[in-house]
Structure 1
Amino acid sequence: MTATSADSSYTARHLSVLEGLEAVRKRPGMYIGSTDSRGLMHCLWEIIDNSVDEALAGNCSQIRVVLHADSSVTVEDDGRGIPVDVEPKTGLSGVEVVFTKLHAGGKFGGGSYTASGGLHGVGASVVNALSARLDVEVDRGSKTHRMTFHRGEPGQFDDRGKEPSPDSPFEPFVSRSELAVVGKVKRGVTGTRVRYWADRQVFPKDARFAYNELVTRARQTTFLVPGLRITVRDERGLAGTPGEDGPSEESFVHSGGTVDFAEFLAPDAAVTSTWHLTGSGSFTETVPVLDDRGHMTPQPVERECEVDIAVRWGTGYGTEVRSFVNIISTPKGGSHQAGFDAGLLKVVRKAVEANARRLKVSTKDGSEKIEKDDVLAGLTAVVTVRLAEPQFEGQTKEVLGTAPVRGIVARVVEKELTARFSSAKRDDKTQATLLMDKVVAEMRARVSARKQKEISRRKNALESSSLPAKLADCRSNDVGSSELFIVEGDSALGTAKLARDSNFQALLPIRGKILNVQKASLSDMLKNAECAAIIQVIGAGSGRSFDLEAARYGKIVLMTDADVDGAHIRTLLLTLFFRYMRPMIDNGRVYAAVPPLHRIEVVGSGRRKGEYIYTYSEAELNTTLRKLDKAGRRYKDDIQRYKGLGEMDADQLAETTMDPRHRTLRRVTAEHAEASERVFELLMGSDVAPRKEFIVAGARELDQSRIDV
C-alpha cells in the first residue's frame, strides 16, 4: 500500500471509534487490574456479567461459556439480545455503541436494569479494546445480526471459508459501519453470542483462563440467581483440568437461592436449620440527573433496597459469611454486612437477657456480656442486597459504601430473627434454645480462655506454682527447642523422668482416657481436669482465642502405649487438638511417639555384649527373625513383648522413644481438613449409627490376635 492510499484510508471515522478505546489499550491495568491471568479472567467476567444482568432482570434463563482450543472464549445467553436499532445521539447501532463507547449501555438511569452487576458501562467495550478479534451475534426480531471488531475497531474479517481467526485479513469500515444480517431465527427467539480472542500484545502468552475459578464463580452465581443455568465447557485439553482427556462440560442450576448457598458453604453439623431472612426498605439519595437542556443537576431519587439473607449455625466455632451486592461479591464487607452484624448481635443479646435465669447468665456486672465473636461462632451466612446504582469504595467493588443500606439490613435482620426467637412453633423454640446455649457456651469459653491466657505464660522459677503440680517442666525458655511429652499414666511418667533430657523435654501425665470433646460442650471440656491441664500447660488458650505465638513448647509429643487403649487415648488427644488447638496441627507441631512392640536380644561370640533389636509390628518382627536365622545369628527365644511404656527401663525408653538421635516420631498433619473433620465426627461424634456401620464393615478385616484380652 502506498503512502497516499494509507493516508486516505485513515479517516475521521477511525478517530471517533478509537479515541476512547486507545486509552484502554495504553492503560489496561486501570480497567481490569492487571494483564496476567487475573486480568484475562476479569475480561471474561465482564461479558458473563452482562448476561447475568439479563437474568437478574428476569429475561435470561441460560448462559453457556465455552473455552475453545484456539484460546478464544464464547459466552452465549438467551436474553433479550443487545439492541440492534440505531441510537439517535451517535447514529450508530446499539451493538456498536455497547462495544465501542466507554460509559455507554443500559445500566445508567434505571431504564433497563433496576439492579445489576455492571455499573460503569465500560465492560464490553474494554474487552473489545483488549481483544485481537471479537465477534458478536444477536438474535432479535427473527433475525441474526453480526458484527466483528479488531482491537476495538469495527470492520470485516475475511476467513475465506476457514475457522474464524484473529489472523484473517481485516478490512475496517470507513464511511459507515454495517450490522450485517446473517441468518434467521424463529419468532420470539432472542439472545446474544460473543466470541473473542484476547490480544497477546496486551496479555502474555502464558496467561490462561482458570477453569476452577470459572466453575466456582459460575456455581456461586447460580446460587444468587435462582433458576439460572450456567454451563461451562472446556475444549482446551490442558493438563490438570477435567478436560485434559477430551471436552468437559459442567452445568449448574439451583432453585433455593441463598438458602442452598449457605447449606453448600456450611462446614459442620447443624445446630439450627437454615433460616431465610427477607425484607426491603427504601431511602432517598441525591444524585446528578441529566435534564432536558443537557445539564447535570442534583435531584433526590427514591431507592428501593431488597434484602435476602440465609443464616445457619453449626457445631463448630469457625465463621463463614459471604456478602454480595446484586451479584457482586464484597469480600471486605461494607454497610450491608455492618448492618447484618449489628442486627444479629442486638437480637441475640435481647434473647439471652430474656432467658438469663434459665441460662444462668449474670448480666449485672457486665462480666458475662455477649460479644459479636460469640454470636458469629459456628455461623454460616449469605448476605445479599439488591439496589440500583450502589456506591462502592474504590474501583474493585470490594466494599459497599451506600450508608442507608446499613439501617435497612439491620431492621430486616432484627424483625425476622425476633420472629424466630419468639415463635410458638416447637421446632423454632428448640432451635432457638440450642442456639442460645451455644452462644452462652462460646461466651464462657472466651472468658475462661482469656483468663487462662493471662496466667498460662511460661513462668520463671518463682512463679512456677501457677502451673499444674504434676507437670515436670524443662529448664529451657527457648520455645523452638522445647518439647512437651503428654504421657499415658503415672507408671510411664516415672520411667520417662529418668529417660528425658530435662533441659528441653517436659512431661505431663494424664490419667486414663480424657473427655471425648467431639461430643462434649465447651463448658464440659473446660471443666474436665485433664483437658484444662493440657490447655493451661500449652498456654495459648483454646478455640477462637487460640494464639499460636503464645504456645510454650515447640513440639507436642503424644506418648501412649502401643496397644488398642493407647491408640484410643491418642485419638481422644488428637480430637482435643483438632477441635480447640487446630493451629498447632496446621503448623506441624503435634507428633505421636512410636514406641516399639518387641525387643530381640541377640547372642553369640564375636558380637558386642547386650545387642538388642527393636521392632514395631508383628510383620517387622517376623521379617527380622527370618533375617537373623538366615545369617546364622542366635537370639534368645523369650522375645520381650511390651504391653506398655511402663515395662521399659529408662535406657530403653530413651533410646527408642525420647532421644532425638534415635527415636521415631510421626508428625500429625491436617492437609485434608474437611476429610479429617469427617473422620473425627464419624469416630468420635455423637451420631452412633454411622460409627456402627463403620465398625461392622471393617470387622472382617480385623486380625483378632492383635486385640489384647
Structure 2
Amino acid sequence: MASSDYSARHLSVLEGLEAVRKRPGMYIGSTDSRGLMHCLWEIIDNSVDEALGGNGEDIEVILHPDASVEVRDHARGIPVDIEPKTGLSGVEVVFTKLHAGGKFGSGSYAASGGLHGVGASVVNALSERLDVEVDRDGKTWAMSFHRGEPGRFADVDPKDPKPDSPFSPFISGSELTVVGKVKKDVTGTRVRYWADPQIFTRGATFQTEELLARARQTAFLVRGLGIDIVDARGSESGEGPTRELFKFDGGIAEYVDFLAPDSPITETWRMTGSGTFAETVPVLDDKGHMVATELQRECTVDIALRWGTGYDTVFRSYVNIIATPKGGTHQTGFEAGMLKFLRAQVEQNSRRLKVGNDKLEKDDILAGLTAVLTVRLPEPQFEGQTKEILGTPAVRNIVSAVVAKAMAERFGSSKRDDKTQASLVLDKIVAEMKSRVSARAHKETQRRKNALESSSLPAKLVDCRSSDVANSELFIVEGDSALGTAKLARDSEYQALLPIRGKILNVQKASVADMLSNSECASIIQVIGAGSGRSFDLATARYGKVIIMSDADVDGAHIRTLLLTLFMRYMPDMIRDGRVYAAVPPLHRVIVMNPGSKPNETIYTYSEAELNGVLAGLKKSNKRYQDPIQRYKGLGEMDADQLATTTMDRAHRTLRRVQIGDAANAERVFELLMGNDVAPRKDFIIAGSEGLSRERIDV
C-alpha cells in the first residue's frame, strides 16, 4: 500500500503533478471520453515526433480488455542515464516533471507537435498506474508509477499487471530496473497505463472511430509511418481483437485523393519549399536565467492539391502534424499566394477567357479545390491553448512564396499535360467567377414574384398566383403537349409549370460555363430563384416543392435522371431539405363496365403486376372491362381530368420524395452513371444485365 508519510522526495516529485490532478481540465480539456483520448494522443504524439525525426517507422496502439492502453514504438527510446540538474533518470524526468523533455531547447527535435514535455507527465499524473519499458544500450529498463509517484507494484502474475496491486513508493531514491536484455541495435519505448477512475467520469471510454480517423490522418501526414491499431477489448466476450494498419507511402498526395469528394480535372499537384526567418525568443542560459535571444528558424512547406469538377472546398492545414482547423498564417499565405498568381494568369489570358472588369475572389479559386497544407517549424506560436490557429507571422510570406513559385513552374511548363490542366483550372475558376457575378446580379434584381417584376422570369414559365412559398409547387413538365394538358389540370393558385424540351444537358460531364449557357438548365435555376453551386441560398427558393413530371417510359426516366443530376450537382440543399419530388403518373386505365344505368368505374394502375392483379380480381368477380386497356405512353395522352386526378390533385396523387441517405455514396453513383468514365459504367450495366427480363423493357 502507498505510504501515508510524505518525505521531501515525495513532495518534490508530486508538487507539479498534484496541480494536474486538482485541475485536470486545464491540461486535457475535460474528464470524459474526450479527455481520455487527449491523454492517449499525448503518448502517441511522442512516438510520432520521433518518427518525424527519422527514428522508428512503426507505432502500435493496443486497447487492452482491462481498460488499459499500450503504445509501442521502435524509436531511440527515452534516455535512461542520469539528468545532471535533477539527479534523476531521464525516464523519471519525462514522466514526473512538467515542461521537461526533448522539446525544450535541447535540439533533439527540429519540429515537434508542440510542448509535449507536458504530455507524458500529465498522463502519468492522471493514471492509476503507468508502466514504461525502454529498450536501450542492450537492456530493457522498466519503471512503474502510481498516480504520478514512482515505485513498485507487487503483481501476483508479472505477465498480468493490475492497477490495484499493492504499491510501494520509492523513499530514498528511485530505481530504474533492468528486466531483460536486447540486441545492441534494438531500441524503443513501451508505455501502458490505466486511466484513474478518480479523475475520469464513469462511462469514459476510448473512441475507436476517432482513434482510427486520427491514426489514418497521421499516417498520411508522416509518409512511410505505419500505425497499427489493435482493439482487444472484445476478446473477453469472445469476439477476438480487431486490427487495422495505416501506412501510406504517398503521404499527403494520397491524403488529397482520399479526401476529394468529386472527380478530378487536374492531377494531384505537389508543392514543396522552405524559407528562413528570425525570431526573438527567451532562452535559458547556463546560469538558469531567461535571456531574449534572436534565433534563425527554418520553415518547410509541403502542399498537395487538385481541382475537381464540383464546387465544394476540402482544405486541411497542419503545423508539425497538429491540425489547425481554424487556419492561421500558413493558410492565409496559401490563399494570398494562390489568389495573386491566378489573378495575374486570368489577366494574361483575358481575351481567351472572355473576362471583363470582374476580378477573381478567394471563393472562386477555392471552388472544387481539395488541398492539404503542412508546415514544419520549431516552436510554432499558436493563438490560444487549443492550437487551432497558427500565429507565427513570418510563415505567411514563406508559404505564399512557395505557392507562387510552384504555380509559376506548373503554368510555365512545356509539357502537354501541364498545359492542358493549367487551361482547365483557368476555365473552371473563371466560370466560378462568372457564376458568382451572375448570381449576385440575379439576386439583386429578382424578388418574390409580383406583377411588376414577373418579366424577369422566363416567358415559358406558367406561374402560380400564391406568394406562400411553403404552399407553392413547381412542376417541371416534359414537352409542350404535356404542358397544354397540365395547364388545364393544375390548380393555378399554388401550382406553377415550367416546360422543358427533350433531354437537358448532362451536367455531370459539362463544365459550369456550359451548364449556365444551356437554356434549359439556366431557366430551371432562374425560376427556382435561389442561385446555384456555392451561391445557392435555400431561403430564397421560390417554391416549397419542385416536382419532376416526366413520361412513364425509358426516355422519361432518363430525363428525370438528368434533372436529378442538375439538382445534385448545383442545388443539393433542395434535395437535403426534402423539396424535390418525382410525380408518379399511371401506366394503365381500366374501365369497368357496370350493368344498367350505373356509371362505369375507372381504375388506374401503375405497374404491370398491379394491372394483372386488378384484371384477375375483375374476372373472379365476373365483372367486364373495356378491351383493349388503355396504355399511357406519355402524359400528353391523358386529358386534363385524368391528369389532375392521377398526378396533380393533392387529394389523390402519389409523389416520390427524392432523398440523400449517404451523400458520398450518392456522389459515387452519379459519377458512375453520368460521369465521363465509360468503362466502369459499362461494367455496371453488364453486371446488372442478368437481373433484367425482356418483359420489363418498354418497346
| TM-score using structure 1 length | 0.95
2:258 paired residue number: 264
Which residue of the partner structure matches residue 161 of structure 2? 164
1:387 counterpart = 2:381: no
The answer to whether 1:326 aligns with 2:305 is no
Following the alignment from structure 2 to structure 1, what is the Cα–Cα distance between the partners of residues 375 and 631?
67
State how 1:649-668 maps to structure 2 within 5 Å: 649-668=639-658
Number of positions where the alignment pairs a residue of Structure 1 with one of Structure 2: 698
* Structure 2 CA distance for partners of 1:167 and 1:655, relative to 1, 3 Å: farther
The root-mean-square deviation of aligned C-alpha atoms, in Å, is 2.0
CA distance 1:456–1:13, shift in 2 (3 Å) = same
Residue number among 618, 638, 653 corresponding to 1:648 in the alignment: 638
Tell me the residue number matched to 1:304. 298
Cα distance, 1:494 vs structure 2: 2.4
Instruction: Tell me the residue number matched to 2:568.
Output: 578
Instruction: Kindly state the Cα deviation for residue 447 of structure 1 after the two structures are TM-superposed.
Output: 1.5
Q: Which moved more, 1:540-549 or 1:419-428?
A: 419-428
- Residue 133 (structure 1) aligned with residue 129 (structure 2): yes
Write out aligned runs for 1:496-515 (5 A).
496-515=486-505
1:238 Cα offset (Å):
9.2
**Paired AA for residue 390 in structure 1:** P
- Greater shift, 271-280 or 172-181, is seen at 172-181
* Match status 1:215 vs 2:212: yes
| Contact 1:110-1:388 within 8 A present in 2 as well | no
Q: Does 1:250 align with 2:247?
A: no
- Check if 1:182 corresponds to 2:172: no
Measured against aligned partners, the alpha-carbon deviations of 1:613-632 in whole angstroms (never above 9, x if no partner) come to 22211112112322333344
**Pair 359,160 (structure 1): closer, same or farther in 2 beyond 3 Å:** same
Structural mapping, 1:4-403, within 5 Å: 9-119=5-115, 121-161=117-157, 163-237=160-234, 245-362=239-356, 366-367=357-358, 369-403=359-393
Q: Is the 8 A contact 2:327 2:390 kept in 1?
A: yes
Classify 1:608/1:690 alpha carbon distance in 2 versus 1 (closer, same or farther; 3 Å): farther
- 1:433 corresponds to: 423
Distance 2:596 2:175 in 1: 101
Aligned to 1:489: 479
Q: In 2 relative to 1, CA 630–159 (structure 1 residues): closer, same or farther, beyond 3 Å?
A: farther
Unmatched 5+ stretches in structure 1:
none
Equivalent in the alignment of 1:471: 461
Kindly provide the amino acid, as one letter, of the partner of residue 127 in structure 1: V
Structure 1 residues 493 and 21: alpha-carbon distance in aligned structure 2, compared to 1, 3 A threshold: same
**In structure 2, distance between residues paired with 1:18 and 1:54:** 27
Q: Is the 8 A contact 1:456 1:537 kept in 2?
A: no
Deviation at 1:385, TM superposition (A): 0.6
- Matched residue type, 2:78: I
Deviation at 1:116, TM superposition (A): 0.4
Shift of 1:660: 2.3
What secondary structure, in the 3-state scheme, does the structure 2 residue paired with 1:480 have? helix
Q: 1:605: Cα distance to partner? A: 5.4
Distance between the aligned counterparts of 1:97 and 1:418, measured in 2?
A: 50
* Equivalent AA in structure 1 for residue 129 of structure 2: R
User: Matches of 1:148 and 1:113 in 2, distance apart?
Assistant: 26
Asked whether the equivalents of residues 456 and 540 of structure 1 are also in contact (C-alpha less than 8 Å), the reply is no
Question: In the TM superposition, what is the alpha-carbon distance from 1:287 to its structure 2 partner?
Answer: 0.5
Q: Secondary structure at the match of 1:214?
A: helix
SS of the residue 1:462 aligns to:
coil
Answer whether contact 1:228 1:253 (CA < 8 A) is retained. yes
Decide whether aligned partners of structure 1 residues 223 and 702 sit closer, same or farther in structure 2, where only a CA change above 3 A counts.
Answer: same
SS of the residue aligned with 2:486? helix
CA shift for structure 1 position 277: 0.8
Instruction: Give, as a single letter, the amino acid of the residue that structure 2 aligns with 1:358.
Output: R
Q: In structure 2, do the counterparts of structure 1 residues 613 and 98 end up closer, same or farther at CA, with 3 Å as the change threshold?
A: same
Aligned-residue offset at 1:606: 10
Q: Please tell me the residue identity of whatever aligns with 1:646.
A: G
SS at match of 1:461: coil
- Are the counterparts in 2 of residues 222 and 253 from structure 1 also a CA contact under 8 Å? yes
- Counterpart of 2:685 in structure 1: which amino acid? I
How far the C-alpha of 1:633 sits from its partner, in A, is 4.2
Q: 1:614 to 1:421 in 2, by over 3 A?
A: same
Report the secondary structure of 1:166's partner residue: coil
Confirm or deny: 8 A CA contact 1:304 1:387 kept in the other structure: yes
The one-letter amino acid paired with 1:190 is T
Rounded to whole Å, the distance in 2 between the matches of 1:607 and 1:641 is 27
Contact 2:447–2:453 (CA under 8 A) maintained in structure 1: no
Question: Residues of 2 paired with 1:182 and 1:569: CA distance?
Answer: 74
Distance (Å, rounded) in 1 between the aligned partners of 2:497 and 2:238? 53
Q: Distance in 1 between matches of 2:657 and 2:31?
A: 42
Give the secondary structure class of the aligned counterpart of 2:233: coil
| Aligned 8 A contact 2:576 2:659 in 1 | yes
Mapped to 2, the partners of 1:375 and 1:698 lie a distance apart of: 40
Counterpart-to-counterpart distance in 2, 1:608 and 1:703: 41
Residue pair 2:235, 2:241 contacting (<8 A) in 1 also: no
Q: Check the 8 A contact 2:234/2:240 in 1, yes or no.
A: yes
Contact 2:114-2:379 at 8 Å conserved across structures = no
1:697: how far off?
3.6
Deviation, structure 1 residue 600: 2.2
Cα 1:175/1:699, change in 2 over 3 Å = same
CA contact (8 A) 2:413 2:419 kept: yes
Indicate the percent of aligned positions where both proteins have the same amino acid: 72
Shift of 1:523: 1.7
After superposition, the C-alpha distances for 1:488-516 in whole angstroms (9 at most, x for unaligned) are: 12222222223222222221111111111
Counterpart AA for 2:57: S
CA offset digits 1:159-205 (Å, max 9, x no partner): 11162111222222222222111111111111000111111222223
- Report which stretch shifted further, 428-437 or 280-289: 428-437
1:560 shift after superposition = 0.8
Could you give the per-residue CA deviations for residues 282-311 of structure 1, whole angstroms, max 9, x where no partner exists? 000010111222211111111010111112
Aligned equivalents of 1:390, 1:168: Cα separation in 2 = 42
- Segment of structure 1 superposing worse, 150-159 or 70-79: 150-159
Q: Is the 8 A contact 1:49 1:118 kept in 2?
A: no
Deviation of 1:603 after TM superposition, in Å, equals 3.6
1:700, distance to aligned residue in structure 2 (A): 4.1
Secondary structure of 2:56's counterpart equals coil
Bigger shift: residues 449-458 or 626-635? 626-635
Is the alpha carbon distance of 1:219 and 1:457 closer, same or farther for their aligned partners in structure 2, counting shifts above 3 Å?
A: same
Q: How does 1:601-640 map to 2 (within 5 A)?
A: 601-604=591-594, 609-640=599-630
Distance in 2, matches of 1:519 and 1:258, equals 28
CA distance 1:123–1:631, change in 2 (3 Å):
farther
| Alpha-carbon distance between aligned partners in 2 of 1:127 and 1:610, rounded to the nearest angstrom | 83
Are the equivalent residues in 2 in contact too, given 1:133–1:197 (CA < 8 A)?
Answer: yes
Contact 1:456-1:538 at 8 Å conserved across structures:
no
The residue identity in structure 2 corresponding to 1:204 is T
Structure 1 residues 569 and 610, CA, compared in 2 at 3 Å: closer, same or farther? same
Q: CA deviation at 1:26?
A: 1.7
User: Equivalents in 2 of 1:20, 1:205: separation in Å?
Assistant: 26
